[in-house]
Amino acid sequence: SQIRSKITRNWRRPPEIDNGLTTSLRVKLFPGGAVADVSVTRSSGNPVYDRSALDAVKKASPLPVPKGSGFDKFRSFKLKFSPTGIR
């Protein structure tokens, strides 16, 4: 999706991170795509890795979202970060 692509471009993965790490985030948006809140819902156990995921979402703001009623399904969503990508 366009949202994942924009966040991926802003993600600076810490060097030498264990490939098994994953962190899950909940993202809440304002209409127009600006990030209202982002929080860790499942930590990787590595605070540097978790912070890199949080920072990527914040740096990518505003996110590309549909206008009007199409925005509602993007108001709040989850993302899972792993060394192989974002889902």
82 φ/ψ angles, rounded to the nearest 5 degrees: -140, 160
Q: Which value, in Å, is the radius of gyration of the alpha carbons in the chain?
A: 13
Q: Provide the CATH number for the domain formed by 2-86 in this structure.
A: 3.30.1150.10
Confidence of residue 1 (pLDDT cuts 50, 70, 90): confident
**Can you tell me the distance from the alpha carbon of 28 to that of 14, in angstroms, rounded to the nearest whole number?**
24
Burial of 23 (0-12, 13-18, 19+ CB in 10 A): buried
Condensed to tens digits (0 to 9), the pLDDT of residues 11-58 reads 998 888 888 899 999 999 999 999 999 999 999 999 999 999 999 999
**Can you tell me the distance from the alpha carbon of 87 to that of 29, in angstroms, rounded to the nearest whole number?**
17
Reported pTM: 0.91
